[in-house]
Homo-oligomer: A and B are copies of this chain.
Amino acid sequence: MEDVARVAGVSHQTVSRVLNNHPNVSAKTRERVEEAITELGYRRNTAARSLVTRRSQTIGVLGSEMAQYGPSHTLLGVQQAARDAGYFVSVAALREVTPETIKDAVAHFMDQGVDGIVVTVPHPGTFDVLRDITVPVPLVAVGSVGDEHLSGATVDQRQGAKLAVEHLLSLGHQRIGHLSGPADWIDTAARIDGWKEALNEAGFEPGTLIEGDWSAECGYREGLKIAADRSVTALFVANDQMALGILRAFNESGVQVPAEISVVGFDDQPESAYFIPPLTTVAQDFEELGQRCIGLLLDRLEDGDTVSAVTVTPRLVIRATTAPAPI
């Protein structure tokens, strides 16, 4: 920086001012400094800057199941938005979710001096842990409703579930079952609520509720049972992977989809359009979710504004696994 100052014929402080876009620098000085910077290929030292500002220009992303469709796309959105805003993105992937591993990861980020943390750990207990340890930087949690300490960004999953079930209702289905995610996931509860609500509003009783684990394997297993007992004419499945398993089980059991049983998934992974038959499902824009997270975080970081929550709206994609209910 001293070198740049010398070349531009100013003091190091003026260079610093140019770098930080301070208002009180005359146009021609600024220009001269900028020339010197490009001429020397100067890059400001982040460590020195962090040391004095106590800001690292880094945002931590703390997540579990980071390789899954949802989290990995959320990370993409976060990364994109953060880099555009001049922030670095550091990741910590939890192999196992316990209060200890969460605290460890947060400590890891504090050691690094991150300016804010985006949390995508979809288990309700997470938020309690985060509130307990009073993290000294802004937090945004995916799936949380948000409060003054912890912002939340979330896809309106209840709404997504309603969309799915209302579609089935409009086709004349009345016995609509639900294969949910694991009970300790936030998303699971929201989707179950949406399913129940849509049915209640239509004046029907909820059909069978089965707790799954998101895996195709589990969808297959439960699909075999449903194929045998035929307790429902339609099934709302909490993600596309379980729906894949269901489809395979029905295929093996000779159950016609959608003629005998309709199936709706959730997520709209790109593959879902090529299932046999192509899956009707609910699309959620995870990348947008990630971008919104950074938006919230930057608001807190820069304006001190306390926007506590944003919601991304899902949308129904109708393909070939849904048809009018059999008579």
Binding site for B on A (CB under 8 A): 43-48, 50-51, 56, 58, 66-67, 69, 72-73, 75-76, 79-80, 83, 88-93, 95, 107-108, 110-113, 215-217, 219-220, 241, 244-245, 247-248, 251, 270-271, 273-276, 278
Contact = CB atoms under 8 A, between A and B. Distances in A.
27 contacts: A43-B107, A43-B110, A43-B111, A44-B111, A46-B50, A47-B47, A47-B51, A47-B56, A50-B50, A58-B112, A66-B75, A66-B79, A67-B69, A67-B73, A72-B72, A75-B93, A88-B90, A89-B91, A90-B90, A216-B270, A216-B273, A216-B274, A219-B274, A244-B275, A248-B278, A271-B271, A276-B276
A66 B72 contact: yes
B108 A88 contact: yes
Contacts of A219: 274
Which 9 A-B residue pairings sit nearest by Cβ, starting from the closest? A47-B50, A216-B274, A67-B72, A47-B51, A72-B72, A79-B93, A245-B274, A248-B274, A67-B73
A114 to B, nearest CB: 9
Copies in the complex: 2
Nearest to A69: B67
Contacts of A215: 270
A116 B107 CA distance: 23
Contacts of A46: 50, 56, 111-113
B93 A217 contact: no
Contacts of A75: 66-67, 91, 93
Contacts of A110: 43
A66 B76 CA distance: 7
A58 B274 CA distance: 40
Contacts of A276: 247-248, 251, 276
A219 B276 CA distance: 14
A154 to B, nearest CB: 19
A240 B95 CA distance: 25
Contacts of A67: 69, 72-73, 75-76
A108 B83 contact: yes
